[in-house]
């Protein structure tokens, strides 16, 4: 009986060796600045109660109305694969009472997220993000720090062709004043029923409508930045001042609203000029009412989500990825059963000391094993046979130039570490 091949679901981007090394490198570079700033890991479920997202993200958003993967579990509960990270973090903070301790709560996370979108380059149904959240303190200096952490992550990748856009979505007073005039403006537009209903829930969503006719219709719409309260305007001015002090370039985009309803105050997005239509590589902002909406205290928060997939595409576009060819430090070729046992012991000791060590498996002949060693990209090779076991000495071959050095087995770790250190220092 012949079985048909099973393929990955449409819209899923897989990362396989050697390309997966580039993906891993990008993710680690994006995470590193958060760790350096004192943010700690939060590992969360990839599915949550659907109400978390309908209430937290907003019913007027495309994410909730069109893009969520929602299903009923065996207990009859409505469950949704997470389309974003902030709501889940906030749920965990409330549930575990983290907001009752030291503030701000500063966490980072990474993993898969899911949206039922039309697949295209840089836009996948399963995508990967790195994110941070700082919850419990309202301070424009904290806003600037969060933006700086994201900016440092992209600089870690060596990216240059990206731009930071910022705006302020104001406080409740600012949005209330703006809403009156915006609704009056929208009432004069000829909208289809779906767009009209969306505008009734959150009129700001119309600024995020990508249809050319809607973008043209909204060109003369009143801008929220013109309605900022005195406090909101002062906070936004302070954020700009701090970013300038840190020499982080930015432009103000007064029409930015982003795709989630919980944003308030400082809002930002990073876009990359080499990625075409899907130019966004990350963004975030402040969300002053989200915790209260989800049943917690009335505490403010700010965070971001950076797209690992798109950051990888940006690194490829700018040719900043390091070599994706895997290379080990040592390749051991055992000849015979006793040599194989000894090779496993040697490899275990070397790996514990940080030396990347591979073995030839499958009882290959010496010629075939040497070909495998060459293909592996190993920097050094040793052959372990009966004579080497008897003499407790091996011939360490440097693959770059074929130089061979005779070394006692019990000195192999020290000699390899020394040779690898010298090689690293000379590069």
Over residues 173-197, the pLDDT tens digits come to 998 899 899 989 988 888 888 888 8
Over residues 39-96, the pLDDT tens digits come to 999 999 999 999 999 998 887 777 888 899 999 999 999 999 999 999 999 999 999 9
- The distance from CA 188 to its chain's CA centroid, rounded to whole angstroms, is 41
Q: What is the pLDDT of residue 387?
A: 93
Q: Percentage of the chain surpassing pLDDT 70?
A: 98
289: tokens are 């009412």
Q: How many other CB atoms are there within 10 angstroms of residue 25's CB atom?
A: 18
Distance CA 223, CA 204 (A): 10
Residues making up the chain, counted from first to last: 427
Computed from CA positions of residues 31, 36, 39, 42, in that sequence, does the dihedral angle turn out positive or negative?
Answer: positive
**With contact defined as beta carbons under 8 Å apart, do 350 and 378 qualify?**
no
Strand pairing of 105-114 and 126-135?
antiparallel
pLDDT reading at 256 higher than 70? yes
**With contact defined as beta carbons under 8 Å apart, do 318 and 350 qualify?**
no
Taken in order of first residue, the domains within the chain and their CATH numbers are 19-171+229-317 (3.30.930.10), 330-426 (3.40.50.800)
Q: What is the pLDDT of residue 203?
A: 86
Q: How confident is the model at residue 226 (pLDDT cuts 50, 70, 90)?
A: very high
The SS3 assignment for 415 reads helix
Q: What is the pLDDT of residue 423?
A: 66
**With contact defined as beta carbons under 8 Å apart, do 170 and 182 qualify?**
no
**With contact defined as beta carbons under 8 Å apart, do 32 and 108 qualify?**
no
Q: What is the pLDDT of residue 235?
A: 97
**With contact defined as beta carbons under 8 Å apart, do 157 and 270 qualify?**
no
Mean pLDDT of 404-415: 92
pLDDT reading at 427 higher than 60? no
Q: How confident is the model at residue 326 (pLDDT cuts 50, 70, 90)?
A: confident
**With contact defined as beta carbons under 8 Å apart, do 338 and 387 qualify?**
no
Mean pLDDT of the chain: 92
What DSSP line would sit under 236-255, residue for residue?
A: HHHHHHHHHHTT---EE-TT
């Amino acid at each position: 009986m012949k079985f048909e091949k099973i393929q990955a679901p449409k819209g899923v981007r897989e990362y396989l060796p050697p390309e997966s090394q580039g993906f891993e490198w990008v993710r680690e570079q994006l995470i590193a600045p958060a760790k350096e700033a004192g943010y700690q890991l939060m590992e969360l479920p990839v599915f949550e109660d659907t109400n978390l997202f309908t209430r937290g993200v907003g019913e007027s958003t495309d994410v909730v109305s069109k893009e969520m993967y929602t299903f009923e579990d065996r207990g009859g509960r409505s469950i949704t694969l997470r389309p974003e990270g902030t709501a889940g973090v906030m749920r965990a903070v409330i549930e575990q009472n983290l907001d009752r301790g030291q503030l701000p709560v500063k966490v980072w996370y990474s993993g898969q997220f899911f949206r039922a979108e039309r697949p295209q380059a840089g836009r996948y149904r399963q995508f990967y993000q790195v994110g941070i959240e700082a919850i419990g303190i309202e301070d424009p200096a904290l806003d600037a720090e969060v933006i700086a952490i994201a900016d440092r992550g992209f600089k870690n990748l060596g990216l240059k062709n990206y731009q930071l856009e910022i705006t302020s979505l104001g406080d409740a007073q600012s949005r209330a004043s703006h809403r009156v005039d915006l609704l009056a403006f929208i009432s004069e537009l000829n909208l289809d029923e779906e767009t009209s209903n969306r505008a009734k829930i959150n009129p700001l969503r119309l600024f995020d409508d990508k249809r050319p006719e809607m973008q043209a219709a909204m060109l003369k719409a009143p801008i929220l930045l013109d309605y900022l309260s005195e406090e909101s305007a002062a906070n936004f001015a302070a954020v700009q001042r701090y970013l300038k002090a840190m020499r982080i370039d930015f432009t103000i985009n007064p029409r930015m609203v982003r795709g989630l309803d919980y944003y308030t105050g400082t809002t930002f997005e990073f876009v990359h000029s080499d990625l075409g239509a899907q130019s966004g590589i990350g963004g975030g902002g402040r969300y002053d009412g989200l915790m209260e909406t989800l049943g917690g205290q009335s505490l403010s928060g700010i965070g971001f989500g950076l797209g690992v997939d798109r950051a990888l595409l940006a690194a490829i576009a700018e040719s900043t990825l390091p070599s994706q060819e895997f290379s080990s430090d040592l390749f051991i070729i055992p000849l015979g059963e006793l040599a194989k046992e000894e090779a496993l012991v040697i490899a275990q000791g070397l790996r514990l000391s940080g030396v990347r060590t591979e073995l030839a498996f499958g009882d290959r002949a010496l010629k075939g094993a040497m070909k495998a060693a060459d293909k592996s990209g190993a920097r050094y090779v040793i052959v372990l046979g009966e004579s080497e076991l008897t003499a407790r000495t091996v011939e360490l071959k440097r693959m770059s130039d074929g130089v061979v050095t005779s070394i006692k087995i019990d000195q192999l770790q020290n000699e390899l570490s020394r040779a690898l250190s010298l090689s690293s220092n000379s590069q």
